[in-house]
Amino acid sequence: MQQDLRLPGTMKAWVLDAPGELRLTQKPLPQPGAAEVLVRIGATAVCATDVEIIGHGEPAMIQGGLPFNRNFTPGHEYMGTVVGLGAGVDEFALGERVAVEIHAGCGRCERCREGMYTACLNYGMNYGGHDKGHRANGFTTDGGFAEYAVNHVNTLVRVPSGVSDEAATLIVTAGTAMYGLDVLGGLVAGQAIAVIGPGPIGLMSVGVAKALGACPVILIGTSRDARRLELGRRLGADEVVTAGEEDAVAAVERITRGRGVHYAMECSGAPNALNDAARMVSRGGRICLAAFPHEPVLVDVARLVRNNIYVFGIRGEGRSATRRAAALMAQQRFPAQLIHTHTFALEQVPEAIRYARERIEDAIKVVVKM
């Protein structure tokens, strides 16, 4: 391995003990294998999915089970500097700043071969006699609430110069939005889109959709989302709707003069959001689900079928969408950094997670800076 010679033998890392219980400890420095690099982490953003994993376990899976008491380090939205190169790596050089995609699929299953590595059929198969090489850092392998992490070269994206460490953690969030627009059809120029839910993925969906020429871009939130809706405008929303003040479906109808939108991007996880989205899109419209409610919900299937409405679920950031999102950020097509609201030190990870979970001080994206 080629590496920065000043590397220590151990590192600080948070591990998940019982549900909700994180502990700061020392771990051996991980070693990159073939096609992998060692990243010195510069910043790690807290995602709603981290909150989910730390509290409830899923969708993380370590050695075939829930991630508790397995010396597992969560955190998946991070960036840093390449400080070690595994065998055969010439795609990246020591010292380069990189952001990461979460999923390195196994590369050998049917879905990976189709570019759908976030839906790898060997999810979590990376241990003992079950090692198919799958990695999803912060989900099935160690993640970014630590000083260092190992990444497959396929999961690295160069950070555009001029993008700060904190903003670079948002590249993968924008990549998820880009992947959602991919599955909707990709060519959104001149077409109408409704984005439901102004959380980080919703706000990045606004920025990416606008950069790709969608018109109008309609962002829908609730009265508690006033600040987020205002940010949505600055990220490119042509119209913002406060559900509760106005019926969201009626608002979309008004804005589109009764035609409905071509696409709906559901990022709220609200129980009735799919039914609302089905009433916002025109016949033949497409809906992407990027969030989900905790309980099963009633869905008006007849409306979907009678109107030939397509519904897609996405997991993460497939088909190299993250690289394309990084290209948009390099061109400064939308001010992603606006959604970064709070910064904490590595020693303060539990506090950072509490800010994100409870939306303290109207937190949107909370970042841990090393």
Contact region with Zn ion (CB under 5 A), list: 55-63, 103-111, 221-229, 288-296: 103-111
Binding of residue 349 to Zn ion (CB under 5 A): no
Least distance from Zn ion to the Cβ atom of residue 212, Å: 22
DSSP state of 339: G
Q: Which of 316, 325, 337 is nearest to 208 (CA)?
A: 325
Strand blocks (E) in the chain = 2-3, 10-16, 22-28, 36-45, 77-85, 97-100, 103-104, 135-136, 148-152, 156-158, 193-196, 217-221, 239-242, 261-266, 281-289, 310-313, 340-345, 365-369
Cα separation, 199 vs 222, in Å, equals: 11
Least distance from Zn ion to the Cβ atom of residue 119, Å: 8
Nearer to Zn ion, 49 or 256 (CB): 49
Nearer to Zn ion, 119 or 304 (CB): 119
CB atoms within 10 A of CB 124: 21
Nearer to Zn ion, 109 or 181 (CB): 109
Q: Let me know: does 106 contact 54? Beta carbons within 8 Å.
A: no
Query: Which are the contacts of 157, defined by CB distance < 8 A and separation ≥ 6?
Result: 98, 99, 100, 101, 171, 175, 322, 323, 326
Least distance from Zn ion to the Cβ atom of residue 89, Å: 21
Contact region with Zn ion (CB under 5 A), list: 101-109, 281-289, 336-344, 346-354: 101-109
Q: Which of 41, 120, 252, 336 binds Zn ion (CB under 5 A)?
A: 120
Number of residues that bind Zn ion (CB under 5 A): 8
CB atoms within 10 A of CB 364: 19
In the window 122-161, what residues touch Zn ion (CB under 5 A)? 122
Contact region with Zn ion (CB under 5 A), list: 97-105, 192-200, 303-311, 359-367: 97-105
Least distance from Zn ion to the Cβ atom of residue 11, Å: 22
Contact region with Zn ion (CB under 5 A), list: 15-23, 115-123, 268-276, 342-350: 115-123
Residue 73's Cβ-count burial label (10 Å; 0-12, 13-18, 19+) is buried
Between 31 and 60, how does the x/- string for binding to Zn ion read (CB under 5 A)?
A: ----------------x-x-----------
Q: Which of 37, 61, 85, 106 binds Zn ion (CB under 5 A)?
A: 106
Contact region with Zn ion (CB under 5 A), list: 31-39, 113-121, 244-252, 275-283: 113-121
Report which residue's Cβ sits closest to Zn ion: 47
Binding of residue 109 to Zn ion (CB under 5 A): yes
Helices 349-358/48-56 angle, 10° precision: 110
Q: Let me know: does 150 contact 7? Beta carbons within 8 Å.
A: no
Q: Let me know: does 204 contact 181? Beta carbons within 8 Å.
A: no
Contact region with Zn ion (CB under 5 A), list: 66-74, 98-106, 276-284, 355-363: 98-106
Please give the single-letter amino acid code of residue 358. Answer: E
Nearer to Zn ion, 98 or 241 (CB): 98
Cα separation, 310 vs 213, in Å, equals: 22
Least distance from Zn ion to the Cβ atom of residue 107, Å: 6
Residue 44's beta-bridge partner residues? 78, 368
Q: Which of 112, 229, 241, 248 binds Zn ion (CB under 5 A)?
A: 112
In the window 270-309, what residues touch Zn ion (CB under 5 A)? none
Q: Which of 30, 75, 105, 180 binds Zn ion (CB under 5 A)?
A: 105
Nearer to Zn ion, 120 or 235 (CB): 120
HSE on the CB side for 199, CA within 13 Å? Answer: 21
Binding of residue 177 to Zn ion (CB under 5 A): no
Residues making contact with Zn ion (CB under 5 A): 47, 49, 105-106, 109, 112, 120, 122
